[in-house]
Amino acid sequence: MPFLFRFLLFGALLYLIIIWIWKPPLTRRPDARRTGSSSNEIEEMKRDSVCGVFVPESQAVILREKGETLYFCSGECREKFLHSGRGMS
């Protein structure tokens, strides 16, 4: 009987150690700030003021005008906006 008890106890301990070693890494809270780029990370999209294309905020060309921030998909769209008479009056 003591042999069976020790065998079960050893088996349970071995199981717990294996689970502890192989468990998946802890996931971050959804509100945790992340550094760097990750494929799982969702980035806010901004709409181009000229052509209407949506572009990730980190890749957008930015123009700050009269306390407002405008986003463009490219420098070309930014220049079109500025030359259209709507920009930088």
Instruction: Check which CATH number belongs to the domain holding 89 and give it.
Output: 2.30.170
Number of domains in the chain: 1
Is residue 84, in this structure, part of any structural domain at all? yes
Is residue 55, in this structure, part of any structural domain at all? yes
Round the CA-based radius of gyration of the chain to a whole number and report it.
Answer: 28
* C-alpha closest to that of 50 among 23, 85, 8, 26: 85
pLDDT band for position 42 (cuts 50, 70, 90): confident
Give the distance from CA 87 to its chain's centroid.
32
How much is the pLDDT for 27?
53
How much is the pLDDT for 20?
78
Cα separations (Å) of 31 from 34, 36, 48, 69?
A: 9, 15, 27, 25
Is residue 83, in this structure, part of any structural domain at all? yes
Q: Considering the entire predicted model, what is its pTM?
A: 0.50
Is residue 59, in this structure, part of any structural domain at all? yes
Average pLDDT over residues 25-48: 64
- pLDDT reading at 33 higher than 70: no
CB-CB neighbours of 75 under 10 Å: 9
Expressed as residue numbers, the domain containing 50 is 44-89
